Amino acid sequence: MQSSEISSEVVNPPEVMVPPKHRALRHALREIVESVVMAVVLYVIISTLVGRYQILNVSMEPNFHEGQRVVVSRLGRLLTGVAHAEDRQANDSLGLKRGQVAVLYPNAQHEEPPLIKRVIGLPGETITIANGQVQINGQPINEPYLNGLSTQCAQNCNVTLGPGQYFVLGDNRSNSLDSRSFGPVTADNVIGQVILRYWPLDKIEIYP
């Protein structure tokens, strides 16, 4: 029986041509998705580094008023969290400076809204309040933001701060719940430094 050879030719499928308008649509959709992803990433980064807060009390008048809104930098807190706890010394582990304004919780429970206060005493310092004046390590400090107001004290009037502790006061010294009442604030309870007041618009100010 004679065998026969059968040859088969491979036929390539016809090339699919995508209309130009479809290519343009795909390109536009890809750009939209990339933009949305980038926006989400930026939002997460910005939300991690900064926070926005509304002032709910009068303790920082006349420099900050109830209803105003501020931006708080969390960078110092994040950097402190990265550092190992045993590497912290009796210094300013959050990078805060005297006179800066910070948003914080008065205690570790965080049950009440955070407060806005001015940083007065830094880790390792001794704060004394007497005769209407604040002293650091026995030396009176200059507080131009008080506009001549005196500082009275009934408790926590002589405090030596340990590592990671801060002594905070409100600018409205006669109407402020601060370290004179609840004592020093630990670094774990400090949210961050106020870097911008953005509302109201006519009161916008940047704080170093």
What 140-143 contacts at long range (C-beta under 8 Å, 24+ apart), as own/partner pairs, is 141/98, 143/99
Q: Identify residue 132 by its one-letter amino acid code.
A: G
Q: Is residue 35 part of a domain?
A: no
In a domain, 63, yes or no: yes
Which residue segment(s) compose the domain that 169 sits in? 50-206
- In whole angstroms, what is the distance from residue 82 CA to residue 65 CA? 34
Does some domain include residue 66? yes
CATH number at residue 96: 2.10.109.10
What tens-digit pLDDT sequence spans the chain (208 residues)?
444 454 555 555 555 565 666 677 887 888 888 888 887 776 666 666 678 999 999 999 999 999 999 999 987 655 544 443 344 443 446 789 999 999 999 988 888 899 999 999 999 999 999 999 999 999 999 999 998 899 999 999 999 999 999 999 999 999 999 999 999 999 999 999 999 999 999 999 999 8
Residue 154 lies in a domain: yes
Query: Is 25 part of a structural domain of the chain?
Result: no
Is residue 7, in this structure, part of any structural domain at all? no
Per the structure, the count of domains in the chain is: 1
Note whether 51 and 71 are within 8 A (CB). Answer: yes
Instruction: Indicate the residue type of 189.
Output: N
Question: Is residue 37 in some structural domain?
Answer: no
pTM for the model stands at 0.76
